[in-house]
Structure 1
Amino acid sequence: MTKLTRLLASLSAGVMLLSGCATLELNEEVSAFPEFNAWTTYGTGTATYADLAAASNTISNATDSQVRILTSDTAVGRLSPLRNKQATMARTGDEYMFAFNGEHDFAHPDWGPQNVRVVWAPPAPHSLMTRTNTGIETPMDLKGKKVPVITANPSVQNKFDAVLAYAGLTWDDVIPVNVAYSEQPGALQAGQIDVLFQQVYGSSLFELESAVDTQWLELDPEDTERVAALQEVAPAVEIGSFTGAAGQEEGEEANGYIYAIPLMSYDSVADSQVYHTAKALQEHYPQYKDATATTEDWDIEHIVKMPVEVPFHDGTVQYLEEMGAWTDEAEERNQALIAYGERMREEWPKFYEQADLDGDIHEQWIAWKDQHIEPVD
């Protein structure tokens, strides 16, 4: 905790407002890590930010380059700077998948399916925290409780949908409360909500722990029926254990969501920029691996190397091939996902021309894809 607090304090000057960003030369080929980068991610009180800040600060110091981090609570807010060429990459939640598929907040005339790619995909534990006086021990106890509806953040909202599916509940069984992602700790402390969802090592959760007694909801990885229901809603999620989080005694374990929180970009970013980013993240890993509780999973041994729902960038593929970490199976799936993305972007204008704009565009788009595009198995 002390290490994380020092890191955030030392890097706070590196956070800048979006309005101060210049347009970047995303297509410029480079022979080393770019001299200037702007990356986006979640807010400064989150572990997602702390991980990215640790890696970027280490690389910046080692290469005499500059990486500035833009923060946003919303999915669109994290991806807009990339599309507007004000940032090269983003560390996101599941919005990298939603953007690729044109779903949720991206099922919109301003967006649709985006040609995005995975750059580096370290996993991280997330889970659901409650106060010890709420009577909530497992997801099944959420019935009748105040559960967040996260503003403009479909990735996190999907995780609440998934835990309700695990519990055999629906939103009609709980009390929905609208709240922004970063507002969750304060809302939980004030009793406005009864549960929150975050990466388990966020500094804001340690601050919350110092004010009120907290605990994590327990998920059972052996309950195959409930886990299957959860993964039907959130297919990229695995159930696994974590330790050393806020609200835990020394040596205490709990089970939560384990899934990749990748650094991603648009396909249009030059292959050499992505290649040297992947290379820098690996080569400088020994200097930042102990910076936070989860940066130990940022090396090539631990990152996700098989494309799941979004293809990997050619620059990353080149680096993984050089390191002997790219398989024929990964290449086959990557090409299938690239072709799937091309089909979606071809179909989107046809779909939108006939869509009922007063209806649910997301659901209409899903139905259109089911009818017109062969999915990737």
Structure 2
Amino acid sequence: MKKKWIWLYVFLLASMSALTACGGGDSAGDNSFLTIATGGQSGVYYPLGAAIGKLYEQELGAKSSIQATGASVENINLLDQDRAEMAIIMGDAATQAYEGLEPFEDKVESFQAVASLYPNFVQIVTTEESGIETMMDLKGKRVAIGAPNSGVELNARAILKAHGLSYEDFNEDFLSYAEAVDGMKNGTVDAAFVTSGLPNPSVTDLGTTKKVKVIPIEGKGMNKLQELYPYYSEATIPADTYGNKEEIQTASIMNLLVVQSDLDEETVYQWTQTLFENLEPIHRSHNAAKEIDFDTARENVPIPFHPGAEKYYEEAGQ
């Protein structure tokens, strides 16, 4: 009888160990499901994130959830709170998180880079009828500056500071791209900060009913911007992007694909490999996404790479 109870005890102990091995442990190593934090549905992040999620479903059998968000800052917080595994963010927000600068109260280092994606162009959009020609003309106007603490709003603060301006100089509205464009259409908004790839769908839509103007960032303002925030680069919006006859000088900042730091190396290796070996559907997601390229995947990245991404680049000879 005693032997019977001993064998029962051994059986139960072995069963519990097996259950722990199958069901316990760190879920970060499970690449069968991932949440991708993107941005507003009227921007570039959302269709790009959807294309990445669909690619992983087709090639890796993963299930993905594409989260529409307020973009960069919210996305970093979602990663930090274990509410997303992957996100698209702007390089300035990444730097501010790692350094614990506003709008982050403390350093946030719970995410790492997978790849540099494509440049975001700062576009200060208005219409011909607004009479706005320069940054200084924003004084006293109604200006949309993106969602609160979004990457767009961070850009707006930086651009304004470089030009000696602040929110006190105009009436600010925290609006999405689509809301800002609707406001310019009906006359309740005079100008909007739009930071995205080219062309931005909402700005293109504005051009169907209004004559679009993009205010240049150049000269002393551009120099001061780079002095204050070295991660900005000089950039050019090509002629005829929004019906403009000539090129427009502006600033740009790189977009990054990032993941949670504690995801295991093999998972992130597979995600990185799958992305760069299947770029065609990614390029089709948006015109801006055509700039995503293996040869530039490690350029202008201000934070550490995830070991899984590093492993892929080393093996692929990049």
TM-score tier by shorter-chain length is 0.7 to 0.9
Gaps of 5+ in 1: 1-23, 326-377
Q: TM-score, normalised by structure 1?
A: 0.68
**Counterpart of 2:234?**
239
Contact 1:90 1:264 in 2 (8 A): yes
Displacement after TM superposition at 1:40 (Å) = 0.3
1:77 and 2:74 correspond: yes
Displacement after TM superposition at 1:246 (Å) = 5.7
1:311 counterpart (284, 288, 304): 304
Displacement after TM superposition at 1:114 (Å) = 3.2
Q: Deviations over 1:146-178 (max 9, x none)?
A: 333444225322322332244343444x21313
User: Amino acid of the residue matched to residue 289 of structure 1?
Assistant: H
Distance in 2 separating the partners of 1:283 and 1:244: 32
Displacement after TM superposition at 1:75 (Å) = 4.8
Change beyond 3 A, Cα 1:47–1:255:
farther
**What is the aligned-residue RMSD (CA, Å)?**
2.7
1:286 and 2:280 correspond: yes
1:177 counterpart (152, 172, 182): 172
1:39 and 2:36 correspond: yes
User: Amino acid of the residue matched to residue 97 of structure 2?
Assistant: A
Displacement after TM superposition at 1:316 (Å) = 1.5
Q: 1:320-359 counterparts in 2 under 5 A?
A: 320-325=313-318
Change beyond 3 A, Cα 1:188–1:149:
same
Change beyond 3 A, Cα 1:208–1:254:
same
Structure 1 stretches (4+) deviating beyond 6 angstroms?
none
Displacement after TM superposition at 1:306 (Å) = 4.9
Change beyond 3 A, Cα 1:66–1:45:
same
**Counterpart of 1:28?**
29
User: Amino acid of the residue matched to residue 109 of structure 2?
Assistant: Q
Displacement after TM superposition at 1:35 (Å) = 2.9
- Matched residues, number: 289
**Counterpart of 2:126?**
130
2:217 counterpart (219, 222, 226): 219
Displacement after TM superposition at 1:117 (Å) = 1.1
Structure 1 counterpart SS, 2:185: helix
Gaps of 5+ in 2: 1-24
User: Amino acid of the residue matched to residue 120 of structure 1?
Assistant: A
Structure 2 counterpart SS, 1:260: strand
Q: Deviations over 1:82-135 (max 9, x none)?
A: 23333211112343333222222321xxx6433321111112232111111112
Structure 1 counterpart SS, 2:103: helix
**Counterpart of 1:201?**
199
**Counterpart of 1:96?**
94
Change beyond 3 A, Cα 1:245–1:35:
farther
Distance in 2 separating the partners of 1:282 and 1:244: 30
Displacement after TM superposition at 1:260 (Å) = 1.3
Contact 1:125 1:256 in 2 (8 A): no
Distance in 1 separating the partners of 2:84 and 2:67: 8
User: Amino acid of the residue matched to residue 202 of structure 2?
Assistant: S
Distance in 1 separating the partners of 2:246 and 2:62: 40
Q: TM-score, normalised by structure 2?
A: 0.79
